[in-house]
């Protein structure tokens, strides 16, 4: 996929997810943070299906959606995406900035909506802060998105299967928040939409460049204009008249090849 096509796709996905997130935010805020019918139904199902092994697995999985793990994976995404040392360093910085800025913006939205969490008696793990959008869900989805983009950009035979595994991890972290009783399902859905929207905007900002920037990149990547090949390393530079200085080549006579059998004879006129 060309850079322009990828940029337009990123813009489209970002705008679509952002619009859906805005609509969901208005619905949640319009209910004063109270759970919707789907929220109550899924929490009730989770409370009735909590064997010890499943709770332990969900607790271990949900911890990968916060702390240092997402930042390590975001840095790994930059390393995978870059093909040179300089580009890897730049990609790592951009991935970390995307993740950190997304978390900061998500904190701001949480404070504005101020949605309470489910009842504390239903919790199977520790949680703090407001509920919407889910922090673990947003962080894991953003990290998974960065890794998926890096794998697709780098290509290779194993890129698509790995991208599916990474995407499954990002979605599963969000579902554990509902299963463990610390978030409503619409909190998780909001986290997914927020992550897709923010990632799409970040990708668009990286891939879409103004015309002057594209011209600069073209000159930097190909400093010699097309159709004007560089002079040979062994040739001297041209002088003011357009000729070559330092070497004056005399025309060579077209001598016949030496013939041992004709030595001593005169050449016929």
129-165 tens-digit pLDDT: 999 999 999 999 999 999 998 888 877 676 788 889 9
Q: What is the model's pLDDT at position 33? A: 87
Q: Answer whether residue 266 shows pLDDT above 70.
A: no
104-125 tens-digit pLDDT: 999 999 999 999 999 999 999 9
How does DSSP classify residue 132? S
- The contacts of residue 188 (CB under 8 Å, 6+ apart) are 133, 134, 137, 174, 175, 177, 178
Q: How confident is the model at residue 2 (pLDDT cuts 50, 70, 90)?
A: low
Q: What is the model's pLDDT at position 269? A: 44
Q: Answer whether residue 211 shows pLDDT above 60.
A: no
- Mean pLDDT (the chain) is 82
| Whole-angstrom distance, CA of residue 247 vs CA of residue 235 | 9
Q: What is the pTM of this model?
A: 0.75
Is the bond preceding 133 in cis, omega lying within 30 degrees of 0? yes
214-241 tens-digit pLDDT: 444 544 545 545 555 555 545 555 555 5
Phi-psi region of 3 (alpha: psi -120 to 50; beta: other; left: phi over 0): alpha
């Amino acid at each position: 996929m060309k850079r322009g096509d990828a940029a337009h796709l990123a813009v489209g996905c970002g705008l679509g997810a952002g619009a859906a997130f805005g609509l969901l935010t208005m619905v949640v805020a319009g209910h004063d943070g109270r759970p919707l019918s789907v929220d109550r139904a899924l929490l009730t199902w989770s409370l009735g299906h909590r064997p010890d092994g499943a709770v332990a697995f969900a607790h271990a999985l949900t911890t990968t959606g916060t702390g240092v793990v997402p930042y390590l994976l975001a840095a790994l995404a930059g390393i995978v995406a870059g093909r040179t040392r300089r580009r890897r360093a730049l990609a790592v910085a951009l991935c970390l900035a995307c993740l950190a800025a997304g978390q900061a913006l998500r904190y701001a939205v949480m404070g504005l909506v101020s949605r309470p969490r489910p009842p504390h008696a239903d919790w199977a793990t520790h949680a703090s802060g407001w509920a919407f959008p889910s922090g673990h869900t947003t962080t894991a989805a953003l990290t998974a998105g960065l890794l998926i983009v890096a794998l697709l950009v780098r290509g290779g035979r194993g890129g698509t299967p790995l991208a599916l595994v990474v995407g499954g991890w990002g979605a599963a972290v969000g579902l554990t928040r509902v299963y463990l009783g610390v978030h409503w399902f619409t909190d998780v859905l909001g986290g997914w939409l927020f992550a897709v929207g923010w990632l799409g905007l970040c990708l668009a900002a990286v891939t879409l460049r103004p015309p002057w920037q594209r011209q600069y990149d073209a000159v930097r990547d190909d400093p010699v204009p097309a159709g004007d090949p560089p002079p040979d390393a062994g040739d001297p530079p041209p002088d003011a008249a357009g000729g070559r200085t330092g070497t004056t080549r005399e025309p060579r006579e077209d001598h016949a090849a030496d013939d041992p059998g004709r030595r001593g004879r005169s050449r016929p006129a």
